[in-house]
Structure 1
């Protein structure tokens, strides 16, 4: 008799994934240790197409990002990448093997989602730039979660630098790890109903879209800003599975699990079998489908598939770049993902100025803003500091990256080159 593979729901009922104490201790031991990132993202070098397609993947039509010629008439001298390009762009570094006692814990079967992030930007990414990265754990905290009982909060830092060892940005990401069987026992989300829309509802959303536009070449000066000023309105949604596919097309979501097709998917299943769980047809499919497969999401206790936290970070940064104009610069942005953003949800972005100040020759403005769902829930509150031109200098001054990070970047690039040379000599013998 042929054994029929378990469905998604049956698999979720049968499998119980709990934290291993050794994994938790390993995570704590790794705090403060940096390693080169040796896996590439979907893209490794910035090109006009990569930059444009990434911007379009989250709905951004700012010509500074999508037009190869437009940027030549700005202070940047050419097309630059959107702020969140780091999530889709990275070349692998060659590096010495990580000692066994410094390897990241597996957290096998544990569900992971992004709760929030803080990003600092130091330089733009241009056409032709290759981006590398080093990373490490900055903080590890074990706690009881409202969503899933015992959970582990891990703050990871990712420092990105270019081929000249210049740090372009650093991102701290808070991820929440939960025991899968625990989330199914909770009834917190049972009352959430899928959003539905009338033609009139869609027309109202369309009116908001029609009113949006980037500030562009109209310079926003620091002297003209007042505390309490509105940042305007932006809308995103209603969220669809198509939105998720388009977001992936911009390059996000392929590392480290490398979802693939055909023969490559077969090889990937051999590499990371637990990542593949049979769907309702008995076909092994990626656990990552929780972001577009509502049946699978319901099997682990959620009402529907939901977005990536990084997608909303892209939306939040889009809101800022539309407001600051071509001449402004986002210095830092912190966000929290307090609620899920389910398929069908619509988000409305609003914000205001909460402060303005100078630091040396930088003219800074502090902002508070948020995304609010059609249920009236603020799902992604955020704060940011932006640098704007002053009328005196007519130039937004960029911050300086920590020298220690650039020293580490230079050392890693040096070792990368040495290992490349060794490999080339070995291949020639």
Structure 2
């Protein structure tokens, strides 16, 4: 689960509750899409960016980290890992959004990413810029066991390169909860931090030592059988260092842009509600639930926890190791059912559940699970992988839906027109 929360400093009787106006505004925005005009930490997928992003979640696959190796593969180059879009985004120029089409602020409301579903259409190469447009696809209001009333919003994120080629479409489910309810319904109060002996660490290290990567050895569709397993990938024990390295790889900045020194002051002026005083009276980002145990406890969880997108990276890492250089991850769908706390260790496993040929693609369906040392499945997932066939040779990449492709070209064209008129606005 990842938090995108802000906290209001206004009237406590109203600051942390849903506004009916905000809920209705959300419903009215379903099907309305706008260009993303904010940049991410990185805007271009250079070799260094790709390398550091992969290593940020613990992936040393040479297809992502070694340009010389990449040149020997079917791709002819180092390429980016599937999840690179969460770290690379260049701002688009776009016409102002009409006031009645702006997203509600949901000030004082806590938010968790509970799952996502992504289709991957094309590789990202070194030198590619990534742009994005997004919008609401669904809005649901319900009662949550954890936090009372919730608003569940599914957001679609379409990512494209500088040529207008769509590389992925992600649908992310975000649960918004009233923070006063979250603090009053702490069903996680009995969870204790994980502790390890030297033997425990040795057992985890043994799993790391035994992990394999398919790499250049082709995995043919004909050789895969329903019911076979995909091995085991270890992740953890989770540390604050892991979180810092994941951030250093590029994740976790837009739209809040945590900043240092005077830039932090300016950012605090821009989004004051995102900054909450810490125990020393210093305004700090609400995002620190991922590294500050005391602040995490204040929002109803027993200790700091990871980002849902980090576990998506782990799950896709498991898949890309299994499928090899010649495979293609077509679709990946995950759920973040439980928190992954600092100190937790996860084992990622999978099983082949189906095989089929569709639109010329030789596809394999896989069910995955990420389970903690508590025996809890915190992140179940489903995936579809395209593999080479002994009969047809190399795989075919998925086709982008026509309406999505046309929208990408239109938005990028408008960006170009506005950029010509004001070329100094983007740096």
Bucket of the pairwise TM-score, normalised by the shorter protein: over 0.9
| Structure 1, 404-413 or 145-154: larger mean CA deviation | 404-413
Aligned to 1:52: 51
Aligned to 2:142: 143
Q: Are residues 332 and 265 of structure 1, via their aligned partners in 2, closer, same or farther at CA, if it must alter by over 3 Å?
A: same
Aligned to 1:241: 240
Aligned to 2:70: 71
Q: Secondary structure at the match of 1:376?
A: coil
Q: Secondary structure at the match of 1:137?
A: strand
Contact 1:306 1:340 in 2 (8 A): yes
In 1, Cα distance between equivalents of 2:107 and 2:298? 18
In 2, Cα distance between equivalents of 1:219 and 1:39? 40
The answer to whether residue 132 in structure 2 is matched with residue 109 in structure 1 is: no
Q: Are residues 281 and 325 of structure 1, via their aligned partners in 2, closer, same or farther at CA, if it must alter by over 3 Å?
A: same
Aligned to 1:324: 323
Contact 1:16 1:181 in 2 (8 A): no
Query: How many aligned residue pairs are there?
Result: 419
Alignment of 1:175-214 (within 5 A): 175-214=174-213
Quote the offset at 1:424 in angstroms: 4.0
Aligned to 1:93: 92
Aligned to 2:4: none
Alignment of 1:327-338 (within 5 A): 327-338=326-337
In 1, Cα distance between equivalents of 2:203 and 2:178? 41
Contact 2:112 2:176 in 1 (8 A): yes
In 2, Cα distance between equivalents of 1:247 and 1:94? 28
Q: Secondary structure at the match of 2:48?
A: helix
The answer to whether residue 294 in structure 2 is matched with residue 295 in structure 1 is: yes
Q: Are residues 151 and 232 of structure 1, via their aligned partners in 2, closer, same or farther at CA, if it must alter by over 3 Å?
A: same
In 1, Cα distance between equivalents of 2:424 and 2:139? 42
Contact 1:34 1:136 in 2 (8 A): yes
Q: Are residues 59 and 21 of structure 1, via their aligned partners in 2, closer, same or farther at CA, if it must alter by over 3 Å?
A: same
In 2, Cα distance between equivalents of 1:63 and 1:217? 10
The answer to whether residue 298 in structure 2 is matched with residue 305 in structure 1 is: no
In 2, Cα distance between equivalents of 1:318 and 1:372? 15
Aligned to 2:79: 80
Quote the offset at 1:14 in angstroms: 9.0
In 2, Cα distance between equivalents of 1:242 and 1:14? 37
Q: Are residues 233 and 13 of structure 1, via their aligned partners in 2, closer, same or farther at CA, if it must alter by over 3 Å?
A: farther
Aligned to 1:402: 401
Q: Secondary structure at the match of 1:147?
A: coil
Contact 2:189 2:302 in 1 (8 A): yes
Aligned to 2:275: 276
After superposition, the C-alpha distances for 1:175-215 in whole angstroms (9 at most, x for unaligned) are 00000010111131111111111111001001111111321
Q: Secondary structure at the match of 2:67?
A: coil
Q: Secondary structure at the match of 2:267?
A: helix
After superposition, the C-alpha distances for 1:377-406 in whole angstroms (9 at most, x for unaligned) are 000000000000001122122111112111
Aligned to 1:256: 255
Quote the offset at 1:328 in angstroms: 0.2
Structure 2 stretches of 5 or more lacking a match?
1-6
Quote the offset at 1:137 in angstroms: 0.1
In 2, Cα distance between equivalents of 1:425 and 1:341? 43
Q: Secondary structure at the match of 1:375?
A: coil
After superposition, the C-alpha distances for 1:332-366 in whole angstroms (9 at most, x for unaligned) are 00000000001111001111000000013110000
The answer to whether residue 376 in structure 2 is matched with residue 377 in structure 1 is: yes
Q: Give every structure 1 segment of 4 or more consecutive aligned residues whose post-TM-superposition deviation is greater than 6 Å.
A: 10-15
Quote the offset at 1:254 in angstroms: 0.7
Aligned to 1:365: 364
